[in-house]
Amino acid sequence: MKQVKYVFFFIGLLLLVGCSAQSTTTDDDVLLVQSQTDKQDSFGEFIEITNEKTVQKVKNIVHNIRLRLDHSEIIKQVRMIRLPDFKFHFKQSSEDIYYVCISPKGKKVELIFDGKYVQLDNDTSAELFNGLTGKNLSDVDPTKIGKESPPPLR
């Protein structure tokens, strides 16, 4: 009888430890991305990205850009010649919306938020684009930018 109690105790302990070790996704860990459609000023359905590494990578990029711009007195005012290719926000802060345009040559992305504009360097552009779409920026055909819908998400 004592052995049965110990068996149930250890099974219960294993279940408790196993359940507590599972990660739960919170709104902080969710990235919502939309791509531009063929219709004028219209975005498609949201794609939810919940992969922790991907969300953290995008958060770090955005955080570093914000820090750089907050300490800079030069903010470019830009008049966009076409609509953004993507827009995204983190689920917990839906009022902070980021717009992404692929540069005409397809090598960089431009990020627009809070009335600010920044063109990212090649490496950061590639990282952000991959985090948002799951695809490589180098695979984008520059001759089709602005003429058709951007690459599909994930």
Q: What is the pLDDT of residues 118-146, one digit of tens each?
A: 899 999 999 999 999 999 999 988 777 76
- For the segment 20-54, what is each residue's pLDDT rounded down to a tens digit? 444 455 656 799 999 888 777 788 888 899 999 99
- In angstroms, the first-to-last Cα distance of the chain is 55
On whether the CB atoms of residues 86 and 33 are closer than 8 A, the answer is yes
Distance of CA 135 to the CA centre of its chain: 12
**DSSP SS3 for 36:** strand
Give the rounded percent of residues in the chain with a pLDDT score beyond 90. Answer: 36
Q: CA 90 → CA 29, 36, 58, 61, 70, distances in Å?
A: 8, 18, 10, 13, 20
More confident residue, 85 or 71: 85
**DSSP SS3 for 28:** helix
Q: Taking the model in full, what pTM does it have?
A: 0.74
